[in-house]
Amino acid sequence: MNALLRRLTAAACAFACTLAFAADPAPAGSAEESAKLATGWLALVDSGDYATSWKESASRFRAMVSQPKWVAAMEQVRQPLGSVSNRELVEAVFTHEVPRAPKGDYWQVKFKTTFEAIAANEVITLVADTDGTWRVFQFFIRPAS
């Protein structure tokens, strides 16, 4: 009877451990897919197609900034940096917290980029949009230190 009780207890513990690890779902997509999405979106920005980059962004992004304001901001901030001579992927990380956003599921993709004018760090944050497709939610360019 003790042996049976120990086996049932062990089985129950194994089942409980399986449930505990399954409670935090695996991130959607992958680091590779996220980097590819971010790189594709950056190609629109690099080519000066700011209006399309806005259209291809997440609905939460579009709700925060109108297309004319986005285009004007990119013309002021991104355009003067010139063309990209090198862009190196630093990392793509799945996270639940990003600056200036509620807790959720995000991919943060970081690049070291050399423009004609400066070297910079670019951070692209992706979020699953209302249709489940991962799209750009945030974009930051900071001078490299």
CATH number of the domain located at residue range(s) 30-143 in this protein? 3.10.450.100
In this model, does residue 16 exceed pLDDT 60? no
Q: Is the pTM of this model over 0.85?
A: no
Q: Where are the domains of the chain?
A: 30-143
Q: Which two tokens stand for residue 138?
A: 């945030």
Q: Are the beta carbons of 122 and 140 closer than 8 angstroms?
A: yes
Q: Which residue has the higher pLDDT, 17 or 121?
A: 121
pLDDT over 90 (residue 93): yes
Mention every residue, 6+ apart, whose C-beta is less than 8 A from residue 81.
Answer: 115, 116, 117, 118, 120, 141
Q: pLDDT tens-digit profile of 26-38?
A: 456 799 999 999 9
Say if residue 118's pLDDT is above 90.
yes
